[in-house]
C-alpha cells in the first residue's frame, strides 16, 4: 500500500470513529467515578448487600462490585428522560465479571418503566415495575442469559412477563464478558455475548417467547364440563372371556433345576469371605461403647481358582408351567368416545399487534439475590445505534478481555490445563446451545462444569455428552417409544466420566437459593456396617 493510500485510509477510519463518537449514547455508565452521587442504593429492609466502587482484578478500570455473599442487592439510576424502544428499536449492553466464578447468583439488569408519582429511587425493590430484564442468571437448574419482556395486554390491562425460550448459557469462566440485546424495528431480537450472536428471535412469535406476547385466538371453555357418562377407555376387558380350567395361577415363576450337578472342585468347606489377616482390634476400642469388634472382610483367595465356595445349591430356572394371574383379554370398547376436551371459545384477552408495545425505559436498576461475591458490573450502555455498541465493545471491553485471556493462559499452563482442553470445553458449551438439545441443556452444562474442575476427565466428559446426544436423537427418531436413558459411565482412578443428573426446570426471574446437594446428602445418609467407629 502506498503512503498516500495509507494516509487516506487513516483519515477514513478517523472520520468513522468521529461519527460514532458524535452518535451519543442514550445512557452510559463507566463507573470511572464513584457511584454514590449518581446512583441510589435501595433502603428497603431486605437489601443488605454492600455495593463498592472497585477495580476489576488486574486492571485500573473501575466497576460496581457486589462485595458480600448471600445478600440481596438493589441500586438504581434514573435516565434524564425515558427512552422509547417501541418504534426505532435500540441496544442494551453491559459488562459483567465473576471474579470468583458464578455458582448461584444473578447478574442481570432491570430496565424500569416509568413509575407512579409516589415512587422514589430509595424504594427500589423486586416489585418496582420494569420493561425489560436482561442478563446472566445461574443457580441450580437455572443457567441462562435472561431476556424477559414485561408487556401490557391492551384488553385486560395486565402486565405479563414474556420469557425468551432457550436463551444462551452463561459463560463459565472468571473473565469480563459483555452482554448485548439488540431490539430491531422489524421486531427481531438478537442476543450477543462478547459480540457473538448467540440467539435470534422474533418478539411476536409464540415459538420464541413463553407465553407468546399475542395470546391465542381461542381458549378452552372453563365452564365446559366432561359428561358423567363419557367413556375414555379405548380398550376394555372382554366380558365374555372365561379363565381356562387348566390355568394355574399359583405356579411359581421359577423352580429348582433338578438336572443341575455340583461342579467338580467346588469347595464346600471354604467361606466366600474371610477376616482380613492383617487387621487388628484398635487399642482404644471399647466393646461397651462401640459394640463387638469385627475384623473387616476380604474375598477368600482360595475361591479365586475354584468354581465356587460354601454350600452348593441347585440353581433356579424358569418354570415352564408358570402363567401368572389370569386377566381377560382386551377388546375394543364399543362405548369409547375418545379423550374428552373442553370446547374452544373465543379468547376474551386476544388482541392483534404489528409491533410490541414496549414500555419506555426510565431507569436502570440492578436488583439481585446472590450467593456469590466478586460480581463486577461495568460500562452499562443504552443506545439507538448498534454500531455504537460495537464501538464500545472494540475499544473498551476487548482490550480488557484479551489481557485477561493472556493471563489465564499463563495460569492454565502452571496448573496443567492444556489449550486443547480449553478449546474442547468451549466447543461443548456451544453444543449445549444447539436448539434441539434444549431439554437436555442443564445435563450437558452440569457435566461440562464438573469436568472443568477435573481436567483429567476430558475423555470421560466427551463420552457422557455423546450419551446424552445419542439419547436425544433416539427419542427424535423413535418418537414416543421408550428411549434408553443416559447411563452413568463407570469411574476409575485414572480416568473418570461424569454423568449429569439435573433435570431441566424453567425458573422465573431471579435465582433459586437451593443448592444441588442431593448427591452429597445421599452419600452422607448411606449407612455403614456396624463394624467399627473408624476405618481399621
Task: Give kind and range of the element (H or E) at residue 45.
Answer: none
Q: Where are the extended beta strands (E) located within 99-224?
A: 105-106, 109-112, 130-139, 142-152, 159-164, 176-183, 188-193, 196-202, 209-210, 218-220
The rounded distance, in Å, linking the Cα atoms of 382 and 201 is: 20
Residues 6 or more apart whose CB falls under 8 angstroms from that of 358 comprise 84, 85, 86, 131, 132, 149, 151, 183
CA atoms within 13 A on the CB side of 425: 22
The chain-wide mean pLDDT, for the chain, equals: 82
- Tally the C-alpha atoms within 13 A of residue 296's C-alpha that lie toward its C-beta: 12
- Report percent pLDDT > 90 for the chain: 62
Q: How far is CA 450 from CA 172, 388, 497, 504, in A?
A: 11, 38, 10, 17
Q: Which residues contact 165 (CB under 8 A, 6 or more apart)?
A: 201, 207, 208, 209, 210, 438
Q: How confident is the model at residue 32 (pLDDT cuts 50, 70, 90)?
A: very high
The pLDDT-based confidence of 1 (bands split at 50, 70, 90) is low
Delimit the domains of the chain by residue range: 22-220+354-410, 416-470
Beta-carbon neighbour count of residue 428 at 10 Å?
19
**Cα–Cα distance for residue pair 402/424, rounded to 1 Å:** 19
176-199: burial string, b at 16+ Cβ within 10 Å, e else: bbbbbbbbbeebebbbbbbeeebb
Q: How far apart are CA 160 and CA 131, in angstroms?
A: 10
pLDDT value of residue 519: 38
Measuring CA to CA, which residue among 75, 54, 76, 73 is closest to residue 65?
54
In whole angstroms, how far apart are CA 440 and each of 47, 503, 507? 35, 8, 15
Neighbours of 482 (CB within 10 A): 8
**Is residue 94 within 8 Å of 193, Cβ to Cβ?**
no
Q: Is the dihedral of CA 421, 425, 430, 432 positive or negative?
A: positive
Tens digits of residue pLDDT in 185-241: 999 999 999 999 999 999 998 899 999 999 999 999 999 999 999 999 999 999 999
Assess whether pLDDT exceeds 70 at residue 424.
no
- Closest-CA residue to 95 (of 32, 167, 30): 30
Set of cell numbers at residue 403: 489481557
- The grid coordinates of residue 220 equal 378452552
Please give the grid coordinates belonging to residue 309: 465356595
Report which of 426, 395, 486, 375 is spatially closest to residue 70, judged by C-alpha positions: 375
Partners of 150 in beta bridges = 161
The pLDDT tens digits for 105-145 are 899 999 999 999 889 999 999 999 999 999 999 988 889 99
Which of 49-53, 232-236, 408-412, 527-531 shows the lowest mean pLDDT across its residues?
527-531
Q: What pLDDT band is residue 346 in, cutting at 50, 70 and 90?
A: very high
Q: Which string of DSSP letters, residue by residue, matches 469-532?
A: HHHHHHHHHHTTSPPPPPP---B-SSSB-----PPP----SS-------HHHHHHHHPPPPTT-
> What is the rounded radius of gyration, in angstroms, for the C-alpha atoms of the chain?
33
Q: What is the DSSP string of 251-309?
A: S-SEEE-TT--PPTT-BTTS-SEEE-TT----TT--HHHH-S--PPEEE-GGGSSSS-B
- Ramachandran angles phi, psi of 433, nearest 5°: -90, 0
Q: How many CA atoms lie within 13 A of 202 on its CB side?
A: 8
- The model's confidence at residue 287, banded by pLDDT at 50, 70 and 90, is confident
- pLDDT in the model for residue 442: 67
- Identify which has the larger pLDDT, 476 or 187: 187
**Phi and psi of 163, rounded to 5°?**
-95, 135
What CATH class does 22-220+354-410 carry? mainly beta
- Burial class of residue 104 (count of CB atoms within 10 Å of its CB; 0-12, 13-18, 19+): buried
3-class DSSP state of 195 = coil
Per-residue pLDDT reduced to its tens digit, 252-276: 999 999 999 999 999 999 999 999 9
DSSP label at residue 126: T
pLDDT of residue 125: 95
How many residues are present in the chain?
Answer: 536
State the residue for C-alpha cell 470513529.
17
What are 314's three cell numbers?
Answer: 441347585
Q: Cα separation of 174 and 404, whole Å?
A: 9
For residue 529, pLDDT over 70 is answered with no
Residue 160 pLDDT exceeds 90: yes
Is residue 462 scored above 70 in pLDDT? Answer: no
| pLDDT level of residue 415 (50, 70, 90 thresholds) | low
The whole-angstrom distance between residue 297's C-alpha and the CA centroid of its chain comes to 43
Q: How many angstroms from the chain centroid is the CA of residue 405? A: 25
CB-based contact 432:444 (threshold 8 Å): yes
Nearest to 93 by CA among 27, 140, 17: 27
What pLDDT score was predicted for residue 419? 57
Residue 290, pLDDT score = 86
Amino acid at each position: 500500500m502506498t503512503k498516500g493510500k495509507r494516509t487516506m485510509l487513516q483519515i477514513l477510519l478517523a472520520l468513522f470513529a468521529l461519527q460514532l463518537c458524535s452518535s451519543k449514547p442514550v445512557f452510559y455508565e463507566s463507573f470511572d467515578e464513584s457511584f454514590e452521587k449518581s446512583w441510589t442504593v435501595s433502603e428497603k429492609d431486605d437489601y443488605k448487600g454492600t455495593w463498592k466502587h472497585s477495580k476489576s482484578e488486574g486492571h485500573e478500570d473501575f466497576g460496581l462490585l457486589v462485595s458480600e455473599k448471600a445478600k440481596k442487592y438493589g441500586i438504581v439510576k434514573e435516565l434524564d428522560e425515558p427512552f422509547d424502544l417501541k418504534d426505532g428499536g435500540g441496544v442494551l449492553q453491559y459488562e459483567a465479571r465473576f471474579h470468583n466464578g458464578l455458582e448461584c447468583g444473578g447478574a442481570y439488569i432491570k430496565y424500569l418503566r416509568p413509575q407512579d408519582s409516589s415512587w422514589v429511587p430509595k424504594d427500589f425493590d423486586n416489585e418496582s415495575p420494569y420493561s425489560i430484564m436482561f442478563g446472566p442468571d445461574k443457580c441450580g437448574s437455572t443457567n441462562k442469559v435472561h431476556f424477559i419482556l414485561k408487556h401490557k395486554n391492551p384488553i385486560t390491562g395486565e402486565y405479563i412477563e414474556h420469557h425468551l425460550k432457550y436463551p444462551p448459557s452463561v459463560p463459565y469462566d472468571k473473565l469480563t464478558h459483555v452482554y448485548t440485546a439488540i431490539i430491531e424495528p422489524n421486531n427481531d431480537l438478537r442476543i450477543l455475548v462478547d459480540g457473538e450472536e448467540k440467539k435470534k428471535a422474533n418478539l411476536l412469535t409464540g415459538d420464541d417467547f413463553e407465553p407468546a406476547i399475542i395470546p391465542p385466538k381461542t381458549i378452552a371453555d372453563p365452564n365446559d364440563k366432561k359428561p358423567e357418562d363419557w367413556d375414555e377407555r379405548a380398550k376394555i376387558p372382554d366380558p365374555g372371556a372365561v379363565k381356562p380350567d387348566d390355568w394355574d395361577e399359583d405356579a411359581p415363576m421359577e423352580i429348582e433345576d433338578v438336572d443341575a450337578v455340583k461342579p467338580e472342585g467346588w469347595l464346600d468347606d471354604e467361606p466366600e469371605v474371610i477376616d482380613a489377616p492383617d487387621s487388628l482390634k484398635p487399642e482404644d476400642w471399647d466393646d461397651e461403647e462401640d459394640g463387638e469388634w469385627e475384623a473387616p472382610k476380604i474375598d477368600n483367595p482360595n475361591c479365586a481358582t475354584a468354581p465356587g465356595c460354601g454350600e452348593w445349591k441347585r440353581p433356579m430356572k424358569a418354570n415352564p408351567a408358570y402363567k401368572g394371574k389370569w386377566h381377560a383379554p382386551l377388546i375394543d370398547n364399543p362405548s369409547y368416545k375418545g379423550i374428552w376436551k373442553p370446547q374452544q371459545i373465543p379468547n376474551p384477552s386476544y388482541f392483534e399487534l404489528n409491533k410490541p408495545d414496549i414500555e419506555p425505559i426510565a431507569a436502570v436498576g440492578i436488583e439481585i439475590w446472590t450467593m456469590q461475591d466478586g460480581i463486577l458490573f461495568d460500562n452499562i450502555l443504552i443506545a439507538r445505534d448498534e454500531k455504537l455498541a460495537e464501538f464500545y465493545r472494540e475499544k473498551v471491553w476487548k482490550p480488557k478481555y484479551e489481557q485477561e485471556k493472556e493471563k489465564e493462559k499463563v495460569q492454565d499452563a502452571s496448573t496443567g490445563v492444556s489449550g486443547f482442553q480449553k478449546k474442547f470445553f468451549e466447543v461443548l458449551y456451544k453444543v449445549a446451545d444447539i436448539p434441539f438439545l434444549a431439554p437436555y441443556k442443564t445435563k450437558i452444562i452440569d457435566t461440562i462444569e464438573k469436568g472443568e474442575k477435573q481436567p483429567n476427565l476430558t475423555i470421560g466428559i466427551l463420552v457422557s455428552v455423546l450419551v446424552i446426544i445419542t439419547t436425544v436423537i433416539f427419542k427424535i427418531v423413535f418418537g414416543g417409544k421408550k428411549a434408553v436413558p443416559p447411563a452413568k459411565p463407570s469411574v476409575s482412578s485414572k480416568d473418570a466420566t461424569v454423568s449429569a443428573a439435573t433435570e431441566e426446570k424453567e425458573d422465573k426471574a431471579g435465582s433459586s437459593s437451593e443448592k444441588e446437594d442431593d448427591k452429597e446428602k445421599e452419600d452422607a445418609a448411606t449407612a455403614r456396617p456396624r463394624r467399627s467407629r473408624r476405618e481399621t
